[in-house]
Chain A
């Protein structure tokens, strides 16, 4: 379905995740973050960019892998995105919600 985010018409699924990453830009990420009560800081963006890179390389995302990433530890990841770290951060990043239970 189509949703207006940051003044642009964007294709998203029922949960609000972008369907086409090519439609993503930082203003889209910013708007999704605001909608999810996250105030983006440079540190947030660093993590989001890292997730986008992993997605581009087809690396499946899990909390265990994040913990071993040397980019961020699990504790800080939760501090940045308390309402569900992978769930919220991937939505902001414009990439699919990880299907893993871990």
Chain B
């Protein structure tokens, strides 16, 4: 009989968005898992791919429209320059708490043993090639391949 006691052994995180707050949420969760000795893998799909796209990953923004937690009227959030302003402010705060930028965070995760997967379907849709993506990317895989990574007792899956 299994002696599995319910503890988390592996986190599979699906990142489908490339707004700064969502990307950081995924990265902190993956890194935090590794720090606890838990395996972690991220599957980048749809807009989430921008977080590992070489030319785009340095230019991710905070969402100011449709984000009630920004505490600003939605119409104001849509004004030119608002997203850039909010992004600059958030990046400053992140630096204060010793949060690495996206590229450094990817490096930390790869060194920590986090596996990074890109979704084949989304890659095809956006016409991205593997060479366009961050060098630490493990592989471009299908959803089926990704599910196989979860065939370990104690695997949890999270969609962001």
Contact = CB atoms under 8 A, between A and B. Distances in A.
The interface residues of chain A, by DSSP majority, are classed as helix
B31 A63 contact: yes
**Interface residues of B toward A: which range?**
10 to 19
B111 A86 contact: no
B85 interface: no
A82 B97 CA distance: 26
A100 B112 CA distance: 16
Contacts of A100: 98
Point out which of B32, B35, B97, B113 has the most chain A C-beta atoms below 10 A from its C-beta: B35
A39 interface: no
B37 A87 contact: yes
The residue among A60, A74, A82, A88 with the most chain B CB atoms within 10 A of its own CB is A74
Contacts, number: 44
Interface of A: 60, 62-65, 67, 73-75, 78, 82-88, 100-102
B36 interface: yes
Given A65-B98, A84-B36, A85-B35, A102 B112 contact: no
Given A102-B28, A102-B98, 9 more contacts: A63-B108, A64-B98, A67-B108, A74-B112, A78-B113, A87-B37, A101-B32, A102-B97, A102-B100
Interface string B79-122: 00000000000000000011110001000100111000000000
